[in-house]
Amino acid sequence: MRIKMQAAAAIGALACLVLSGCGGGASDSPATSGGPSASGGGDVAAEAPAGELKVLTHRTDLDQDGTLQGYADQFMAKYPEVTKVEFESITAYDDDVPLRLSTGDFGDVLSIPNGVTNDQLAQFFEPIGSKADLSAKYRFLDSFAVGEQVYGLAQGGIATGVVYNKKVFADAGVTTAPTSYDDFLAALEAVKANTDAVPLYTNYKDGWPLGDLQRNMGVAKGNANAKNDMTGDDAPWAEGGDAYWLDSLLYDAVDRGLTEADPTTTNWEESKTLLGSGQVATLVLQSWAISQMQTAAVDAGASADDIGFLPVPSAVAGKSYAAVLGDRYYAVNAKSANKVTAKAWVEFMIEESGYDAKEGFVSTLKSAPLPSNLSALSDLGTELFEPTAAPAGEEGLFDAIDTAAEIGFSSAPYRQALVDKARQHTAKADAFGELNAKWAAGRAAAG
């Protein structure tokens, strides 16, 4: 009996070892990293950047080809006290990083992953400064700001629009750039009638280009406040509303057979070649895609000049608009032990690295000029605007309603379902009516 008890005790002890080994470690790390951070936070002004830095990035390509290490070398040359900049690039960034947020183990600097809502920012990230101070120098402060506190700085900005193949438009007999909604659909019809090209490619299978369509919210009517207005509207998809115009483009194009025959087998990498080689006429993407499409066009044996950029079709006669948005945002880990260096890295990347220019981004610095890839928009007289931030106290409201409504406004499945309905020629009013009902229920639950 006694021996059995001893054995049981031994098992217990061993089990404790196994379990506490891990459990202790997990609970331990935030505590230890919390200690130095508390003191580090106090001496921000006094310290110069030094020590080691860990950066989480979504740019696996730039990590592998050494571009990021190049920036790190420049950074260490500027601040000799910094001994090491380590990068961790993550392929499924928006899947993996949100899960790590609550553990505190996500480097010193990171790209803010999709899925973090604004009311959660303060839990995970260090405030970078006040909007009043930063706005003299930087653009795109609103997306990750809560009240006056700014938690994220944009890595660069992009403009909404449509990348298209100029040659296909010319072959189809479209001579003037179609900026209005009706002209754009007419151009797609012309492409369908006069050429073999797919007028508009949805990238349904990969999905994220459909999710990214949410960036066009409000662009059709040039309403910078569209997303905020939506939180006070029980029927945003009612005819003429901002959400109506946003999703109508996709719905009408699919409904009229202006998209690829089999959306379920589309392929993003292939879509670049298809556009470049003139087998696809248009892709609704943002300005970041221009350089990739030009490369694909050259690889396909065509010319980079074949690729053009149009504003998102406008619902206002004689006008066109483009939203300029921060692409990804840098943030500093609230539990970082080296916040001074982390902030210095963010400033360095935005102001000195040349990363934004290399990527064709609109610079986060207000003093920098617009990138050359947006000249087409200036030629067309397109008005650029930055979407307005949510009013104080309502930062998380849009996401809260969206979650309660189970729509997933920026997700792929939501617009894939729209494409499915449009392909079966469900009346647009019915499909949009269903969304209105869900949104109204979401508002009731979350508002």
Partner 1 sequence: MIADKAPDPKPTKPRRGPTTRRRVVQAITPWAFLALPLGLLILLTYLPAFNLIRYSFTDWDGIDPEQNWVGLANYRRMATDPTLYRVLLVSLFYLVGAVAQIAIALYFATILSFKVFAKNLFKGILFFPYLINGVAVGYVFLYLFRKDGTLDTTLAFFGLQDPPLWLGDPKLINASLAGTSVWRFTGMNFVLFLGAIQSIPGDLYEAAELDGANSWRRFWHIILPGVRRVVTLSFILAISGALAVFEIPYVMTGGGNGSKTFAIQAVEMAFVHRKVGLASAMALVLLGMVLAVTWIQRRFFPDERAELT
Residues that bind partner 1 (CB under 8 A): 3-4, 6-7, 10-11, 14-15, 17-19, 22, 95, 98-99, 101-102, 115-116, 120, 123, 204-205, 207, 261-265, 403, 406, 408, 411-413, 416-417, 419-420, 423-424
Q: How far is the CB of 163 from partner 1 (least distance, A)?
A: 23
Q: How far is the CB of 6 from partner 1 (least distance, A)?
A: 6
Nearer to partner 1, 229 or 420 (CB): 420
Q: Which residue has the tokens 């729509």?
A: 407
Nearer to partner 1, 82 or 121 (CB): 121
Q: How far is the CB of 3 from partner 1 (least distance, A)?
A: 5
Q: Which residue has the tokens 């003139």?
A: 278
Nearer to partner 1, 3 or 77 (CB): 3
Nearer to partner 1, 211 or 222 (CB): 211
Nearer to partner 1, 46 or 261 (CB): 261
Integer-rounded Cα radius of gyration of the chain: 25
For residues 122 and 119, give the distance between their C-alpha atoms in angstroms, rounded to a whole number: 7
SS3 273: helix
Are the beta carbons of 268 and 209 closer than 8 angstroms?
yes
Nearer to partner 1, 22 or 38 (CB): 22
For residues 383 and 319, give the distance between their C-alpha atoms in angstroms, rounded to a whole number: 8
Q: Which residue has the tokens 């080689």?
A: 277
For residues 36 and 104, give the distance between their C-alpha atoms in angstroms, rounded to a whole number: 14
Nearer to partner 1, 211 or 278 (CB): 211
Q: How far is the CB of 416 from partner 1 (least distance, A)?
A: 4
Concatenating the DSSP letter of every residue in 38-68 gives HHHHHTTTTPPS-EEEEEEES-HHHHHTTHH
Q: How far is the CB of 146 from partner 1 (least distance, A)?
A: 15
Nearer to partner 1, 239 or 262 (CB): 262
User: 351-388 in b/e burial notation, b at 16+ Cβ within 10 A?
Assistant: bebebbeebbbbbbeeebeebebbebbeeeebebebbe
Among 291, 313, 317, 315, CA closest to 304: 291
The torsion defined by the Cα of 119, 111, 312 and 384, in degrees rounded to 10, comes to 80
Q: How far is the CB of 89 from partner 1 (least distance, A)?
A: 21
SS3 182: helix
Q: How far is the CB of 342 from partner 1 (least distance, A)?
A: 21
Q: How far is the CB of 4 from partner 1 (least distance, A)?
A: 7
For residues 365 and 275, give the distance between their C-alpha atoms in angstroms, rounded to a whole number: 32
Residue 67 exposure: Cα atoms within 13 Å on the Cβ side: 15
Nearer to partner 1, 194 or 265 (CB): 265
Q: How far is the CB of 29 from partner 1 (least distance, A)?
A: 15
